[in-house]
């Protein structure tokens, strides 16, 4: 048989174009996806897998949803990129601003990393300050300044950050534990008037799933304002995924700069940053903060994004929340019945899983979870046709295509896989 992974490793570093795809932390070799159908992936070797990764949360309607496929096909027939303004960019910016009260203006880019990079430059340009405060385990893409104590693939690989990031690039980045108010205050006190931005995933979803403690986001809002720093919410996962107005809608806390991606692009390369006009107008061509992109606001990506946002109703979020609840309570019960100490947290429509006796509130606790047990469970599930994230530090994304039967089958598989883990 055609060994795609062997061919991939010859021509692509590690055989993958994003590290966590390589299965490094769970062992074994990755499968190659031939196509997606709703809640399922069909692999190149003909397996049909129930998929809880859903392109890392991007596919909220499920794979190859007809609304998205038709929108992209129609857009493609009209040309794929022009380098001029197009109607759908305006419509997508209006759609985001209509839904997020703190957002008056929007700049479209092509990836979450690019949006975070631009947000950092914008915050520094707007405030004339250099320092950034970030939280250990929060991931904001692979830009140098924030690639320190990041979650996601960085957590998976157990690297402190990355080679090639100079001490200078992170010299102005201060990292404190998530949910730790004292550490935030200590950092702000140590550097009075120096912080350009406090950046946070309002629900942390790249160190496994770690919700904010009650009042934590309100606290950050208050402290950022008092310090004169911008509060940046990285809603690349939470935006349009945990509710129609993302985390800001759910927690009623307004950010100064909001970052979106994943769901916003409907599975195509698109991301955005947005905020009040007074902040966003610092960007070129109005302001002095330069930012640009050949494929920014790409016609196919805006078509997909508008199709997805147009298809999502408030009822859909209630339904996703119900499915996430069934999934997490079922998983927790299956693991407990097998005598395994585990946590299956839920935040709105997002589901998490930690092999650990106590709830996780920060990165240090997440890292103390049993990653080897997760790896055994992951393979037990994959052998039974259920694909979870290939890392203990990610989130599960039930989509609108996951039926009650799909979730019931997942829990049956989990009960069997858990017994195997317990026996190992
Ligand atoms: C995925 C992600 C990013 C990076 O987005 P890319 O499109 O992969 O560059 C940034 N922040 C968060 C919270 C993410 O989950």
Per-residue pLDDT tens, the chain, 424 aa: give them.
579 999 999 999 999 999 999 999 999 999 999 999 999 999 999 999 999 999 999 999 999 999 999 999 999 999 999 999 999 999 999 999 999 999 999 999 999 999 999 999 999 999 999 999 999 999 999 999 998 876 656 554 444 578 888 888 888 999 999 999 999 999 999 999 999 999 999 999 999 999 999 999 999 999 999 999 999 999 999 999 999 999 999 999 999 999 999 999 999 999 999 999 999 999 999 999 999 999 999 999 999 999 999 999 999 999 999 999 999 999 999 999 999 999 999 999 999 999 999 999 999 999 999 999 999 999 999 999 999 999 999 999 999 999 999 999 999 999 999 999 999 8
Amino acid 147: pLDDT: 87
Report CA 311 to chain centroid distance, whole Å: 21
Q: Report the alpha-carbon distance of residue 357 to residue 387 in Å, rounded.
A: 24
Tokens 């692979």 belong to residue: 142
User: pTM for the complete prediction?
Assistant: 0.96
The pLDDT of residue 324: 98
Residue 158 confidence (pLDDT): 44
- The pair of structure tokens assigned to 216 is 């934590």
Note the pLDDT of residue 154: 57
Whole-number Å distance between alpha carbons of 142 and 130: 19
Q: Which residues contact 49 (CB under 8 A, 6 or more apart)?
A: 31, 40, 41, 42, 43, 382, 385, 386, 387
Cα angle vertex 214, ends 211, 219, to 5°?
105
| pLDDT score at 162 | 85
* CA dihedral of 318, 351, 140, 263, whole degrees rounded to 10: -40
3-state secondary structure 138-160: CCCCCCHHHCCCCCHHHHHHCCC
Please give the distance, rounded to the nearest whole angstrom, from the Cα atom of residue 419 to the centre of ligand 1. 34
Residue 70 lies in a domain: yes
Output the pLDDT for position 148: 81
- Catalytic annotation on 234? yes
In a domain, 174, yes or no: yes
CA 369, 373, 374, 375 dihedral sign is positive
What is residue 135's three-state secondary structure? strand
Centre of ligand 1 to C-alpha 213, Å, is: 22
The residue segments making up the domain with residue 273 are 66-311
To the query of whether residue 387 is one of the catalytic residues in this protein, the response is no
The preferred substitution site among 207, 212, 237 for testing ligand 1, maximizing ligand atoms within 8 Å of CB, is 237
Separation CA 325–CA 253 (nearest Å): 24
Does residue 148 lie within any of the structural domains?
Answer: yes
| End-to-end Cα, the chain, rounded Å | 32
Residue among 56, 140, 212, 295 to mutate when testing ligand 1 (max atoms within 8 A of CB) = 140
C-alpha distances out from residue 169 to 145, 194, 287, Å? 5, 16, 24
Counting DSSP H helices and E strands in the chain, the numbers are 15, 13
Nearest to 110 by CA among 234, 257, 258, 268: 268
Residues 6+ away with beta carbon under 8 Å from 34: 42, 43, 44
| CA distance linking residue 269 with residue 110, whole number of Å | 5
For residue 121, the model assigns a pLDDT of: 98
Question: Tell me, what DSSP letter sits at residue 268?
Answer: S
Cβ-based neighbours of 272, under 8 Å, separated by 6 or more: 92, 93, 96, 106, 107, 108, 109, 115, 259, 260, 261, 264
Could you give the number of structural domains in the chain? 1
With the most atoms of ligand 1 within 8 angstroms of its CB, the residue from 262, 263, 271, 391 to mutate is 262
The answer to whether position 238 is within a domain reads yes
Integer Cα distance of 307 and 255 in angstroms: 26
Question: In 3D, which of 223, 137, 215 has the Cα closest to residue 188?
Answer: 223
Give the pLDDT confidence score for residue 151 in this predicted structure. Answer: 61
Minimum-distance ligand 1 atom for the alpha carbon of 114:
9
Which residues are near ligand 1 (CB < 6 Å)? 56, 111-113, 116, 139-141, 201, 206, 234, 236-237, 261, 271
Cα 234 to ligand 1 centre (Å): 8
Q: Is 319 inside a domain boundary?
A: no
CATH code for the domain of 77: 3.40.640.10
Domain assignment present for residue 8? The answer is no
Distance, CA 139 to ligand 1 centroid (Å)?
7
Confirm whether 139 is a catalytic residue.
yes
Return d(Cα 334, Cα 409) in angstroms, integer. 12
Q: Which residues of 174-201 are buried (b: 16+ CB within 10 A; e: fewer)?
A: bbbbbbbeebbeebbeeeeebbbbbbbb
Q: Which of 51, 234, 362, 406 is catalytic?
A: 234
Say if 332 falls within a structural domain.
no
Q: Does the residue 52 lie in any domain?
A: no
For residue 261, how far is its CA from the centre of ligand 1 (angstroms)? 7
Q: Which residue has the tokens 């079922």?
A: 330
């Amino acid at each position: 048989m055609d060994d795609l992974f062997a061919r991939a490793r010859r021509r692509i570093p590690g055989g993958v174009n994003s590290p966590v795809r390589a299965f490094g932390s769970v062992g074994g070799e990755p499968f190659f996806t031939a196509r997606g159908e709703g809640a399922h992936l069909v692999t190149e070797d003909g397996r049909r897998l129930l998929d809880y990764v859903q392109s890392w949360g991007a596919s909220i309607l499920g794979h190859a949803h007809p609304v998205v496929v038709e929108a992209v096909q129609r857009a493609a027939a009209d040309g794929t990129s022009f380098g001029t303004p197009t109607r759908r960019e305006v419509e997508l910016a209006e759609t985001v601003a209509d839904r997020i009260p703190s957002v008056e203006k929007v700049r479209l880019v092509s990836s979450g990393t690019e949006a975070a990079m631009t947000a950092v430059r914008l915050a520094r340009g707007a405030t004339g300050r250099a320092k950034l405060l970030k939280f250990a385990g929060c991931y904001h893409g692979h830009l140098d300044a924030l690639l320190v104590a990041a979650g996601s693939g960085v957590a998976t690989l157990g690297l402190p950050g990355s080679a090639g990031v100079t001490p200078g690039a992170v010299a102005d980045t201060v990292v404190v534990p998530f949910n730790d108010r004292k550490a935030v205050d200590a950092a702000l006190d140590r550097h009075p008037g120096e912080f350009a931005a406090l950046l946070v995933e309002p629900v942390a979803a790249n160190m496994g799933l770690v919700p904010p403690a009650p009042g934590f986001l309100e606290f950050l809002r208050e402290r950022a304002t008092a310090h004169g720093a911008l509060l940046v919410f990285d809603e690349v996962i939470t935006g349009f995924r945990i509710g129609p107005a993302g985390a800001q809608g759910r927690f009623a806390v307004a950010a100064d700069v909001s970052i979106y991606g994943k769901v916003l692009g409907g599975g195509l390369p698109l991301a955005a940053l947005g905020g009040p006009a007074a902040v966003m107008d610092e960007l070129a061509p109005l302001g002095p903060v330069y930012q640009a992109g050949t494929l920014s606001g790409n016609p196919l990506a805006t078509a997909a994004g508008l199709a997805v946002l147009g298809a999502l109703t408030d009822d859909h979020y209630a339904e996703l929340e119900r499915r996430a609840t069934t999934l997490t309570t079922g998983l927790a019960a299956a693991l407990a019945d097998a005598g395994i100490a585990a946590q299956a947290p839920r935040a709105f429509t997002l589901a998490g899983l930690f092999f650990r006796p106590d709830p996780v509130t920060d990165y240090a606790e997440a890292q103390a979870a049993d990653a080897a047990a997760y790896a055994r469970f992951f393979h037990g599930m994959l052998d039974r046709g259920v694909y979870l994230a290939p890392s203990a530090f990610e989130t599960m994304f039930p989509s609108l295509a996951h039926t009650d039967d799909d979730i019931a089958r997942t829990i049956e598989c989990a009960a069997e896989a858990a017994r195997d883990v317990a026996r190992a």
